[in-house]
Amino acid sequence: MLFRINLGGEGEIPGVLNQQGRWIVLQAGWRSSQTGQTFDDLVGAGHDFLIADNIRLPLPDDAFDEVITNNIPPVDSQTWLGPTVQTREIRRILKGGGRWIHNGIIRFIKP
């Protein structure tokens, strides 16, 4: 079984754990960019969410076969939303041989 997480995910990939920042996804009126579904809609449809900031993901080392990042600000930077996804966290949570796929393109394979 593959363990996959979409950092910044909004339920657009079936069967993948989605990570979102707390203040963003729990804000009243938040809706998925792709489908317009609310957070409650997505959870009700069976999508799993991890509510956590990007600096320190509450996940163990070497846990995931695949990390996905789609339509996110440049990694290791800062926007009005706060710190963006951190490369060191992606490298930490990937298993050996695990892949980071950004906008559909393999960005990193953990040795």
Q: Is 78 in the site for another protein (CB under 8 A)?
A: yes
CB 6 within 8 A of CB 64: no
Q: Is 55 in the site for another protein (CB under 8 A)?
A: no
Q: Is 12 in the site for another protein (CB under 8 A)?
A: yes
- In angstroms, give the least distance from the CB of 21 to another protein: 9
Q: Is 77 in the site for another protein (CB under 8 A)?
A: yes
* Residue nearer to another protein on the CB measure, 60 or 104: 104
User: Cα–Cα distance between 38 and 30 in angstroms, integer?
Assistant: 6
Q: Is 81 in the site for another protein (CB under 8 A)?
A: yes
Q: Is 72 in the site for another protein (CB under 8 A)?
A: yes
The H-assigned helical ranges of the chain are 22-25, 39-44, 87-93
Cβ count within 10 A of residue 110: 18
- In angstroms, give the least distance from the CB of 103 to another protein: 4
Query: How long a stretch of residues is the chain?
Result: 111
Q: How far apart are the first and last CA of the chain?
A: 20
Contact range with another protein by CB under 8 A, out of 42-50, 54-62, 74-82, 89-97: 74-82
Contact range with another protein by CB under 8 A, out of 30-38, 40-48, 50-58, 88-96: 30-38
User: Cα–Cα distance between 36 and 33 in angstroms, integer?
Assistant: 6
